[in-house]
Amino acid sequence: MSITLSIIYLISTVTFVIGLKLLGHPETAKRGNIISAVGMILAIIGTILIPEKLENDVIVPIVVPLTNYILIGAALFVGSLIGWLIAMKVEMTKMPELVSLFNGFGGASAMLIGLVEYGNNVGDAMQTSTVIAAIIIGSITFSGSLVAFGKLNGSLNDIRLPKYNLINNILFLGLLAFATYIVMMGGNNALLIYGLLFASLIYGLLFVFPIGGADMPVVISLLNSLTGIAAAITGILYGNMVMLVGGILVGSAGLILTFVMCDAMNRSLSNVIFGAFGGDSSDVGATATGKSGGSIKKTTASDSAILLNYASKVVIVPGYGLAVAQAQHVIHELELLLTEKGVDVSYAIHPVAGRMPGHMNVLLAESNVDYDKLIEMDDINPQFPNTDVVLVVGANDVVNPAAHNDPTSPIYGMPILDVENAKHIIVNKRTMNAGYAGIQNELFFNTKTSMLFGDAKSALTELVSELKNM
Amino acid sequence: MNELLEFISNNLELIYILILAIFIGVELIKNVPSVLHTPLMSGANALSGVVIVGALLVMLQADPNDYLALGLGFIAVVLGIINVVGGFAVTDRMLQMFKKKK
């Protein structure tokens, strides 16, 4: 391998590690991202300017025809433009689906590389295995990410075939057997490889379809990790260090992130993948309503405004409803108004508020909410007993006391925000429908709770104008 | 079985790198505050776009008359670079919002 290219790849790899490291702290995160991006650009430019290929385990320089260079330039230009435009245009509430979509593209790229390379590596069992692994993982990531994308933007619903776990597991084993067969067969059989591609794509669909919408972040993180692994495998195929190390880094980082997210919801990964609760809200919700009994207390914007106006400490609990209604700017206005009136206002951020851990922070930061006002669960929970009013906006499961006192509840044991300890609780929700976990919330029936029904944005706007008149 | 052992002994260096890289990945992410999980996921997603290097290699090595390889490679490069550019740009946009107010 050319020494120049080796050094370039080495630098890129180091920037990836440093970049990931810096991404872990709020002050350095932006720099970290830029450093990794520079490393990536270096790797891309180096690869193009110093073309080499692996031949009989030795890397040799190659001469590239002009046509190829023109096509590469065109592809890079078109793709960069598309990526840039999507990234700049998308609304911040759409973040999770966007990450999923981009991730799917990465998977598809690995899948296509595998398809092209299959024919070039006939006879070498180890190489064939690598190619096949790239095809399988790449296509599962591709189709799985597209389903996750569709679910997050609401165009796809949960679909569960009867005995889907059994079917999926059998299909997965079948896929492995099929792959082994192709490797054993050797030879170049296009039909077999397209069959494998098709089966992997189907598996990706069936894998993600039954998983509830609330668990999509976990799935995306897992699929992200898989894309990393696919990249690493392709790296082995080309004897390419930057792909190998970069891919593995993303693979292991993504996997850990997946576990951290599961942890925050007090679920195991297998529970997320095979449990499939969280979509079937209709019947579970109905029975739970009966159990909670009690009656709810409705309130109006003006009553809520009075309550907030005379409070000395208010905690806002934002949830996905706030994100969907695009109410992050109004809530900030409300916060400023209350602060002006001498009320101590802070935000309680549950680790899985929104659709992704940290999603709520991104949204609130977008509307200029002060970083110091966002308080994490463990720090805010002891403060609820001396909080006058808690304003829950579009959050449900993360404030459901069933997590503490109902062992039969699917969310039992999940750490929650203990808002029921506050003196008053105002819950803004569109309807009485159950939350994403598909279970009813007894908090709403609490005597201290009043319900402010309506879309988060219009309800909060009304609240703000009432407060202004006071 | 023998083939596997042979593979291991031939690629010992590779296996060392693999295992150490896994540990680095785990250590880097383990203690990240949850506020940064979304940008981190997005950043890691951009990094997984390193697969673009493979797509470029496909196109660099393809015979100009091999339309299948060139075509598939072209799509792979487009998709890969969307992942890279989009991923980094969107992460940057997210992190832009974390700037403290003056």
Say if residues A441 and A435 touch (Cβ distance below 8 Å). Answer: yes
pLDDT at A415: 82
Are B45 and B21 found together in one domain? no
Q: How many domains does chain B fold into? A: 2
Whole-angstrom Cα distance, residue A39 to residue A33?
10
DSSP state letters, A387-422? -SEEEEES--GGG-THHHH-TTSTTTT-----GGGS
φ, ψ at A79 (rounded to 5°): -65, -45
pLDDT at A121: 66
pLDDT at A40: 96
Q: Is pLDDT of B102 > 50?
A: no
Per-residue pLDDT tens over the stretch B30-41: 777 777 778 888
Are B85 and B61 found together in one domain? yes
Residue A359: which of B38, B47, B53 has the nearest Cβ? B38
Are B38 and B83 found together in one domain? yes
Task: Check CB contact under 8 Å for A72 and B64.
Answer: no
Q: Is pLDDT of A205 > 80?
A: yes
A224 touches chain B (CB under 8 A): yes
pLDDT at A282: 35
What is the ipTM metric for this complex?
A: 0.91
Are B53 and B95 found together in one domain? yes
**A313 versus A415: which is more confidently predicted?**
A313
Taking residues A413-441, what's their average pLDDT? 80
pLDDT class of A72 with cuts at 50, 70, 90:
very high
Where b means 16+ CB within 10 Å and e means fewer, A135-170 reads bbbbbbbbbbbbbbbbbbeeebeeebeeebeeebee
Q: Is pLDDT of A410 > 60?
A: yes
Q: Is pLDDT of A85 > 80?
A: yes
pLDDT class of A397 with cuts at 50, 70, 90:
confident
**A57 versus A41: which is more confidently predicted?**
A41
A66: left (phi over 0), alpha (psi -120 to 50) or beta: alpha
Task: Check CB contact under 8 Å for A102 and B94.
Answer: no
User: Residue A52 pairs with which residues in a beta bridge?
Assistant: A61
Taking residues A37-45, what's their average pLDDT? 96
Task: Check CB contact under 8 Å for B28 and A20.
Answer: yes
Are B54 and B97 found together in one domain? yes
pLDDT at A276: 52
**A287 versus A344: which is more confidently predicted?**
A344
Mutate to test the interface with B, among A359, A362, A373, A377 (most CBs of B within 10 A): A362
**A105 versus A159: which is more confidently predicted?**
A105
Q: Which residues in chain B are contacts of A227 at CB distance < 8 A? A: 45, 48, 51
Give the global pTM: 0.78
User: Residue A372 pairs with which residues in a beta bridge?
Assistant: none
pLDDT class of A362 with cuts at 50, 70, 90:
confident
Are B26 and B37 found together in one domain? no
Q: Which residues in chain A are contacts of B97 at CB distance < 8 A? A: 92, 362, 365-366
pLDDT at A351: 77
Q: What mean pLDDT is reported for chain A?
A: 84
Whole-angstrom Cα distance, residue B53 to residue A41?
10
Taking the alpha carbons at both ends of chain A, their separation in whole angstroms is: 74
Cβ-Cβ contacts under 8 Å for A10 (sequence gap 6 or more)? A241
Are B62 and B87 found together in one domain? yes
pLDDT class of A122 with cuts at 50, 70, 90:
low
List active site positions of A: 397
Are B54 and B94 found together in one domain? yes
Say if residues B35 and A26 touch (Cβ distance below 8 Å). Answer: yes
**A350 versus A277: which is more confidently predicted?**
A350
Q: Which residues in chain A are contacts of B85 at CB distance < 8 A? A: 79-80, 83-84, 87
A369 touches chain B (CB under 8 A): no
**A451 versus A275: which is more confidently predicted?**
A451
Are B86 and B56 found together in one domain? yes
DSSP state letters, A407-468? TTSTTTT-----GGGSSEEEEEESSS---TTS---GGGGSTTEEEEES-HHHHHHHHHHHHH
Task: Show the tokens assigned to A70.
Answer: 């023109």
pLDDT at A1: 64
pLDDT at A286: 35
Per-residue pLDDT tens over the stretch B8-57: 887 788 888 888 988 988 888 877 777 777 888 899 999 999 999 999 99
Name the least confident of A91-95, A126-130, A198-202, B65-69.
Answer: A91-95
Q: Which of the residue ranges A52-61, A397-406, A428-437 has the most confident prediction, judged by mean pLDDT?
A: A397-406
Say if residues A301 and A367 touch (Cβ distance below 8 Å). Answer: no
Taking residues A313-333, what's their average pLDDT? 86
Are B52 and B69 found together in one domain? yes
Per-residue pLDDT tens over the stretch B73-83: 999 999 999 99
pLDDT at A86: 92
Taking residues A386-406, what's their average pLDDT? 86
Per-residue pLDDT tens over the stretch A274-321: 765 544 333 333 333 434 456 788 888 888 888 888 888 999 999 878
Q: Which domain holds residue B61?
A: 33-102
pLDDT at A441: 83
Q: Is pLDDT of A132 > 60?
A: yes
Are B56 and B18 found together in one domain? no
Are B11 and B44 found together in one domain? no
- B33 to chain A: nearest residue by CA? A24
Domain architecture of chain A: domains with CATH: 93-276 (no CATH), 283-468 (3.40.50.1220)
